[in-house]
Amino acid sequence: MTGGGSDPGPGEDVVDARGKRCPIPVIDLARHAAEHPTAHRVLVLATDPAAAHDIPAWCRMRGHHFVEQRPSRDHTVYVVELIEQNEQVTT
């Protein structure tokens, strides 16, 4: 993946949602998180301006950490740290 800030580093996955409209970028991110439970950091590439609100909101609702957003050529890169969810329920 090339293009000013879109290159994944070690331990980073990429969800390419460029050209997709709301709510698809968040749906793609949620699907990636569910399908890759060991993923730590995800770069979401998106062109839809609504992603600037939707991705941080999804992180808050799901207990993940929204790191930053940064412009890159024809899209924006949203950096998300996936926090392992403890699914054990204590009584």
Query: In terms of residues, how long is the chain?
Result: 91
Among 14, 22, 30, 67, the one annotated catalytic: 22
How many whole angstroms separate alpha carbon 26 and alpha carbon 20?
10
How many whole angstroms separate alpha carbon 47 and alpha carbon 25?
9
59 is catalytic: no
Catalytic residues: 22
